[in-house]
C-alpha cells in the first residue's frame, strides 16, 4: 500500500518528511524566504544636489520631486535564508543604499540624455548592476513602476526578457448561478451574489505581456496594445450584464475566475499577433478579491 501524506501514522516518519519535501519543492522555490523592498525616487530635469545629502522622505520618494519630472518606484525581491545573527534575509538599509547609489544616477542619465524611451534598457541595466549586489541573497526579480498603473518586471530566470503590465478598468454586473442546482442550493453557495437581478462591480484588469525589448527599450507599442485591450475587452464588457450580453457567459458562470480566463482567451490571439506573449491577466473584483489566469 502506498504511503499517503495525509496519513502520516501509516508511514515511516523519515519517509513522510521526504515525501513532504518533494511535494513542497514542486510548489515552491527552494529558497522559501522572499524579501521585497520598494525604493521610491525621482529624477528632476536638472541635477539639484539632493543625492549627496541624507534621505529626508523615503516614503514619498528620495530624491524628491520638485516640479515636473520622473517618479519611479523600484521593487527589489531577494531570496535566501535569514542570517542567524540578525534574522534578516538582507538588511533593508543596504538595499536602499545600493539602489540610491547605483540606480538613481543610472535612471537620471537615461532620463536626461533622452534614452529612457520604453524603459526596457533601463530595467536591464539595473538588473546587471544589482544581480550580485547583496552577498548571501539572490536577486529574484525587479519591478519598476513607470506610473501607478504601468510596470516593467524582470525575473532573473527570464533575463533579458521583460514583462510589461498595464491596468484598465470596466464596470459590469453579473449573477452567480448554476442552473443545474436548485434555488436553495444556489442561495447556499452564492448568497447575495445569486440575486436574480444581478449585482455590479468596478473591475480592475491588469494585462501582462512578456518578450524582448527592442533597441529603444520598448516591448510593444503601448497605445496599440491599449487599443487592443479596449476594443477586445473593455468596450464589450463595460456597463454590461455579463450573463446576458456576453455570449461566453450564457453557459459559464461569470465568477472572477471564469471572467479572467475568458478575457485571457479573448486577448491571446490578438496580443500574440503583435509579436509578444500574453503572460497573464489579473482581474480584481474588489480590492480584497482578485484572480490571476495564465496558460
Q: Which residues form the catalytic set?
A: 193, 239, 285
Rounded Cα distance between 83 and 87, Å, is 5
- Could you tell me the three cell numbers for 25? 519543492
Rounded Cα distance between 129 and 160, Å, is 13
Angstrom CA distances, 100 to 17, 88, 138, 142, 207, stand at 44, 20, 19, 15, 30
The partner residues of 151 in beta bridges, in order of sequence, read 145, 165
| Plot region of 49 (φ>0 → left; ψ -120 to 50 → alpha; else → beta) | left
Cβ neighbours of 147 (radius 10 Å)? 11
Amino acid at each position: 500500500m502506498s504511503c499517503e501524506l495525509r496519513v502520516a501514522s501509516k508511514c515511516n516518519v523519515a519517509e513522510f518528511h521526504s515525501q513532504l519535501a518533494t511535494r513542497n519543492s514542486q510548489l515552491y522555490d527552494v529558497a522559501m524566504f522572499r524579501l521585497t523592498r520598494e525604493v521610491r525616487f525621482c529624477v528632476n530635469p536638472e541635477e539639484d544636489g539632493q543625492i549627496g545629502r541624507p534621505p529626508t522622505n523615503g516614503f514619498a520618494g528620495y530624491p524628491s520631486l520638485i516640479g515636473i519630472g520622473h517618479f519611479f518606484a523600484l521593487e527589489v525581491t531577494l531570496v535566501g535564508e535569514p542570517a542567524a545573527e540578525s534574522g534578516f534575509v538582507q538588511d533593508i538599509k543596504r538595499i536602499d543604499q545600493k539602489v540610491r547609489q547605483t540606480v538613481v544616477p543610472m535612471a537620471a542619465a537615461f532620463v536626461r540624455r533622452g534614452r529612457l524611451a520604453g524603459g526596457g534598457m533601463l530595467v536591464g541595466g539595473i538588473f546587471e548592476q544589482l544581480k550580485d549586489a547583496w552577498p548571501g541573497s539572490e536577486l529574484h526579480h525587479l519591478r519598476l513602476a513607470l506610473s501607478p498603473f504601468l510596470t516593467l518586471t524582470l525575473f532573473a530566470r527570464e533575463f533579458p526578457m521583460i514583462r510589461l503590465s498595464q491596468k484598465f478598468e470596466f464596470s459590469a454586473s453579473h449573477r452567480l448561478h448554476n442552473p443545474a442546482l436548485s434555488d436553495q442550493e444556489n442561495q447556499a453557495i452564492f448568497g447575495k451574489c445569486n440575486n436574480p437581478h444581478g449585482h455590479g462591480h468596478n473591475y480592475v484588469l491588469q494585462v501582462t505581456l512578456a518578450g524582448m525589448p527592442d533597441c529603444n527599450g520598448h516591448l510593444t507599442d503601448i497605445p496599440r496594445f491599449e487599443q487592443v485591450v479596449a476594443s477586445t475587452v473593455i468596450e464589450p464588457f463595460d456597463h454590461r450584464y455579463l450573463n446576458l450580453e456576453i455570449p461566453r457567459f450564457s453557459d459559464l458562470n461569470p465568477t472572477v475566475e471564469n471572467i479572467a480566463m475568458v478575457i485571457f482567451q479573448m486577448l491571446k490571439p490578438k496580443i500574440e499577433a503583435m509579436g509578444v506573449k500574453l503572460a497573464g491577466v489579473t482581474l480584481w473584483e474588489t480590492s480584497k478579491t482578485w484572480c490571476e489566469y495564465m496558460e
